[in-house]
């Protein structure tokens, strides 16, 4: 495959390169793409040196696959240009996720919807991906009626600027801020911008993307997304009311048998998922599995995953792997 990574110099782009290398994705040619600011910059992949190129040069090269993580406006403008020359775009931004003509894919859940004619494929939001990984198999069995979600999100979801802000605050250094308040020793009930009815865009993503991926808009969903001074991953407390009752042991078994999910729930030994342990791993960790004693058919889960990996780069590379395995990508050079 001739692969372009758009946003290669960014936080998610870097992890994409790491994951392409780790998973030994079959790459015949690699194009590293970023903004004009970075053109010519040297980067390495599998020990080889590459020069960063600009978007138009990358389109002219007609890659077979373009993994995009360069922000929504870059995706809106450039993904169609790649698609037009025959490239299959897997886009990590929020630009195309809710477009009814585009698929929103978590491979373990709905990759089978993909066809050869899908030229722009949307990668869901990090906090949505890790949550639906755990919820999809339970929904299939017990039918979810309502979700109450509280997130505890890593600063890496905001990007390099936020990681720098925390470092500056820890070291007492003045610098540019990513957030309207200090993040060190703090918790901000504010992820992404405020939108309608007092909800943030991150909270609405959790609602709308979950409906789309699970193909069920009847699930009641309410979320509060909170940014905390953590680096390794996002954590989520999810309260799930089902139509049907469940056995806790069966819930544990279903989760344990779900590919990509690991049950970590041994409270006697203080063992539960934490971002410090999830960091650098591709799986979604689920623990604190217990009944909500205040209401029938209701379960509490604690879900943790590395937001830059399964929440972004790993999921995108898995989509690419699926397309290759099912022969759904024809070389853009022959289009
Ligand atoms: P650059 O490094 O040249 O700015 P992050 O989210 O970590 O800040 O990374 C964003 C990524 O998207 C970077 O690789 C960045 O490149 C890239 N990017 C941002 N704006 C553009 C643009 N207008 N065209 C192409 N790439 C862009
Ligand atoms: C966060 N979920 O942690 C975001 C980061 O829609 O892809 C990714 C934003 C997105 O704030």
CATH code: domain of residue 236: 3.30.360.10
Confidence bin at 330 (pLDDT 50/70/90): confident
Confidence bin at 335 (pLDDT 50/70/90): low
**Which whole-number Å values give the CA distances from 220 to 73, 94, 152, 191, in the listed order?**
30, 22, 21, 21
pLDDT tens per residue across span 124-134? 999 999 999 99
Pocket test for ligand 1, best of 7, 81, 154 (most atoms within 8 A of CB): 7
* Average pLDDT over every residue of 69-76: 97
Does pLDDT of 331 surpass 90?
no
Indicate whether 147 and 107 sit together in one domain.
no
How many structural domains does the chain have?
2
Ligand number nearest to the C-alpha of 4: 1
Indicate whether 100 and 157 sit together in one domain.
no
pLDDT tens per residue across span 37-58? 999 999 999 999 999 999 999 9
Does pLDDT of 102 surpass 80?
yes
End-to-end CA distance of the chain: 15
pLDDT tens per residue across span 187-228? 999 999 999 999 999 999 999 999 999 999 999 999 999 999
Indicate whether 205 and 296 sit together in one domain.
yes
pTM: 0.97
pLDDT tens per residue across span 136-194? 999 999 999 999 999 999 999 999 999 999 999 999 999 999 999 999 999 999 999 99
Indicate whether 203 and 299 sit together in one domain.
yes
**Which whole-number Å values give the CA distances from 13 to 21, 61, 91, 139, 176, in the listed order?**
12, 19, 11, 32, 22
Residues 204 and 4: their CA atoms lie apart, in Å, by 30
Classify strands 144-153 and 234-242 as parallel, antiparallel or unpaired.
antiparallel
Picking from 274, 266, 289, the residue whose alpha carbon sits closest to that of residue 135 is 289
Residues 170 and 164: their CA atoms lie apart, in Å, by 10
Ligand 1 centre to CA of 190 (Å) is 23
Residues 2 and 11: their CA atoms lie apart, in Å, by 22
Tokens of 157: 């979801």
Considering just the CA atoms, what is the radius of gyration of the chain in Å?
Answer: 20
Indicate whether 245 and 200 sit together in one domain.
yes
Indicate whether 290 and 158 sit together in one domain.
yes
The domain of 30 spans 2-123+312-334
Coil vs helix vs strand at 138: helix
The answer to ipTM > 0.90 is yes
CB 209 within 8 A of CB 128: yes
Indicate whether 221 and 288 sit together in one domain.
yes
Confidence bin at 334 (pLDDT 50/70/90): confident
Indicate whether 102 and 137 sit together in one domain.
no
Tokens of 210: 């979950």
Ligand 2 centre to CA of 296 (Å) is 33
Which DSSP state fits 93? S
Residues 6+ apart with CB under 8 A from 136: 106, 108, 109, 213, 214, 258
Ligand 1 centre to CA of 32 (Å) is 11
Residues noted as catalytic: 126, 234
Place of tokens 């020990």: 47
pLDDT tens per residue across span 273-283? 999 999 999 99
What is the average pLDDT value for the chain, to the nearest integer? 98
Residues 6+ apart with CB under 8 A from 260: 108, 133, 282, 283, 284, 310
Indicate whether 139 and 89 sit together in one domain.
no
CATH code of the domain containing 108: 3.40.50.720
Indicate whether 163 and 242 sit together in one domain.
yes
Place of tokens 């689920």: 286
Indicate whether 205 and 287 sit together in one domain.
yes
CB 221 within 8 A of CB 111: no
Indicate whether 59 and 185 sit together in one domain.
no
């Amino acid at each position: 495959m001739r692969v372009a990574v758009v946003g290669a110099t960014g936080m998610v782009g870097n992890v994409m390169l790491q994951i392409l290398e780790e998973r030994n994705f079959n790459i015949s040619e690699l194009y590293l793409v970023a903004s004009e600011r970075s053109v010519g910059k040297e980067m390495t992949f599998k020990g080889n040196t590459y020069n960063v190129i600009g978007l138009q040069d990358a389109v002219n090269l007609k890659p077979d696959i373009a993994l995009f993580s360069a922000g929504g406006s870059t995706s809106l403008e450039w993904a169609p240009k790649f698609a037009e020359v025959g490239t299959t775009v897997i886009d990590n931004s929020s630009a195309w996720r809710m477009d009814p003509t585009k698929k929103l894919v978590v491979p373990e859940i709905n990759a089978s919807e993909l066809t050869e004619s899908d030229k722009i494929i949307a990668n869901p939001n990090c906090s949505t991906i890790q949550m639906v990984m755990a919820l999809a198999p339970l929904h299939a069995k017990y039918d979810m009626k309502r979700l109450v979600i509280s997130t505890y999100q890593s600063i890496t979801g905001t990007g390099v600027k936020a990681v720098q802000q925390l470092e500056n605050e820890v070291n007492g250094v003045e610098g540019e801020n990513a957030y309207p308040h200090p993040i060190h020793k703090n918790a901000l009930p504010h992820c992404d911008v405020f939108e309608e009815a007092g909800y943030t865009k991150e909270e609405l993503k959790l609602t709308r993307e979950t409906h789309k991926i699970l193909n069920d808009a009847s699930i009641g969903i309410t979320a509060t997304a909170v940014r905390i001074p953590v680096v390794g991953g996002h954590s989520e407390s999810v309260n799930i009311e089902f139509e049907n009752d469940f056995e806790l042991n069966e819930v544990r078994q279903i989760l344990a048998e779900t590919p990509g999910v690991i049950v970590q729930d041994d409270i006697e030994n203080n063992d539960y998922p934490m971002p410090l342990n999830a960091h650098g791993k591709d799986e979604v960790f689920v623990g604190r599995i217990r009944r909500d004693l205040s209401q029938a058919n209701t379960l509490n889960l604690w879900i943790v995953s590395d937001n830059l990996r399964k929440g972004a780069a790993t999921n995108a590379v898995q989509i690419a792997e699926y397309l290759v395995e099912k022969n759904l990508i024809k070389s853009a050079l022959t289009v």
